[in-house]
Chains A and B, each alone.
Chain A
């Protein structure tokens, strides 16, 4: 059996990559992809710990996270389309009117 620490390291690496993407990319749709990657990284940690602790609670939480992520993608992409309609650009820096 592959030890759980391997899975947790992989999960941390994927989460850090997603966080890096959120910091350095500008396209709002790519930003959503990076957020999805972070959610998936956390899901991997949940499933790995669910096996390690011999409990199904982690897998139930993963199902909940999937439902939340699906709702989030639907609303987020609608926001991206609204932004594009308003600014003719999907660059997040184009929506900086409220920026201090």
Chain B
């Protein structure tokens, strides 16, 4: 019990530290490293939450693929300075909005309990069947159509990225 709470505090604090590094770092490469820390700690939190498959997918997809894409873009652009913070009335308003958002979330979480019917996926059932098999059963029966639509979405994403990133040769000169 105490060990789990300690792990939660360590992972959570490191995730927040990564997030702060993303916002505060002047060099975008440091921002990317902070984001990497954030992703890895969230993966660890998923494993702590008994969602082992998602934890590993988080590491592979985010800390692997998405991070490589970010670093590729940073290196291709080659701009090392991230520019100063935006200092304007709009940015100050944004800070206030973020604080209000945080206060709202804190208020709701502190005052409301999680209601609703409990499903049948108890930790004992997960320990017997396995997280991957249980998730796969739900994904390929109840949520088959959204799963297939996700592949179409990824295809459209590939086409859009290729179209946008190609070099236009003749017209723009």
**Are A and B genuine complex partners?**
yes
Q: Are A90 and B95 in contact (CB under 8 A)?
A: no
Q: Is the CB of A78 within 8 A of B164?
A: yes
Contact A30 B31 (CB under 8 A): yes
| Cβ of B77 under 8 Å from chain A | yes
Q: Is the CB of A90 within 8 A of B54?
A: no
Interface residues of B: mostly helix, strand, loop or mixed?
Answer: helix
Q: Chain A interface (Cβ within 8 Å of chain B)?
A: 1-2, 4-27, 29-30, 32-34, 36-37, 40, 43-44, 47-57, 59-60, 62-64, 66-75, 77-82, 84-85, 89-91, 93
Closest to B78 in A: A84
Tell me how many residue pairs across A and B have CB atoms closer than 8 Å.
Answer: 237
* 13 intermolecular pairs with C-beta atoms under 8 Å apart: A9-B109, A12-B106, A16-B101, A24-B95, A27-B82, A30-B82, A43-B42, A53-B119, A54-B122, A55-B118, A67-B153, A69-B62, A73-B66
Contact (Cβ within 8 A) B70 A77: yes
B69 touches A77 (CB 8 A): yes
Which range holds the interface residue count of chain B?
Answer: 35 or more
| Residues of chain B contacted by A10 (CB below 8 angstroms) | 12, 15-16, 45
Q: Which residue of A lies closest to B81 (CB)?
A: A27
Residues of A within 8 A of B70 (CB): 29, 32-33, 73, 77
Contact A5 B109, beta carbon cutoff 8 Å: yes
CB-CB under 8 A for A53 and B83, given A81-B165, A84-B77: no
A55 near B119 with CB under 8 A, answer yes
A53 to B32, CA, bound (A): 34
* B22, B139, B162: most-surrounded residue (chain A CB, <10 A): B22
